[in-house]
């Protein structure tokens, strides 16, 4: 077993469109365990830290404005090989390439406003989770 934790957050468009419950349900139906969750407003400074690897790219400013434009619902999920499986469930970043049945394939209409963010590797999860959650906010064994 390869037990992993990952960060998943529902972006402002997903919150606005009332898709939080749908996304939580999909994760629960996989048998994963929710170990942390909160609704929050992301500040510009926080967003720049989270998306630091994209700084200097053409879409960076739009991404920062978008993710700070409304509340998100941040979660930490735990499960066996959860990172690659969740990435598959989320679908391609560009909704044009996202398969039907994936979160983005079913709900996203825009490259930037694409409903969810999920850590793309164990290293990213280790970096991202502490940006959103203190250790005492996570509940698990």
CA–chain centroid gap for 86, Å, is 10
Sketch the domain layout of the chain as residue ranges. Answer: 3-137
117 is catalytic: yes
Residue tagged active-site, from 46, 50, 54, 117: 117
What is the pLDDT tens value at each position of the chain, 141 positions in all?
899 999 999 999 999 999 999 999 999 999 999 999 999 999 999 999 999 888 999 889 999 999 999 999 999 999 999 999 999 999 998 999 999 999 999 999 887 789 999 999 999 999 999 999 999 999 976
Q: Is-contact 125 4, C-beta < 8 A?
A: yes
Between CA 96 and CA 94 the distance in angstroms is: 5
The beta strands (E) that lie in 1-141 are given as 3-10, 33-40, 72-80, 116-118
- Write down the pLDDT at residue 6: 98
- Write down the pLDDT at residue 141: 65
pTM of the entire predicted model: 0.93
Domain covering 3-137 in this structure, CATH number? 3.30.70.141
């Amino acid at each position: 077993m390869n037990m992993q934790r990952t960060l998943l957050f529902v972006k402002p468009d997903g919150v606005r469109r009332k898709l939080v419950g749908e996304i939580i349900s999909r994760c629960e139906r996989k048998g994963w365990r929710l170990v942390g969750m909160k609704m929050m407003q992301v500040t510009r400074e926080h967003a720049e830290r989270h998306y630091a690897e994209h700084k200097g790219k053409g879409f960076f400013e739009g991404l920062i404005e978008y993710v700070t434009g409304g509340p998100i619902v941040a979660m930490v999920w735990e499960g066996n090989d959860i990172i690659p499986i969740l990435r598959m469930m989320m679908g391609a970043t560009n909704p044009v390439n996202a398969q039907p049945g994936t979160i983005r394939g079913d709900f996203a209409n825009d490259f930037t406003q694409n409903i969810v963010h999920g850590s793309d590797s164990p290293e990213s999860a280790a970096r991202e989770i502490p940006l959103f959650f203190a250790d005492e906010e996570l509940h698990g064994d």
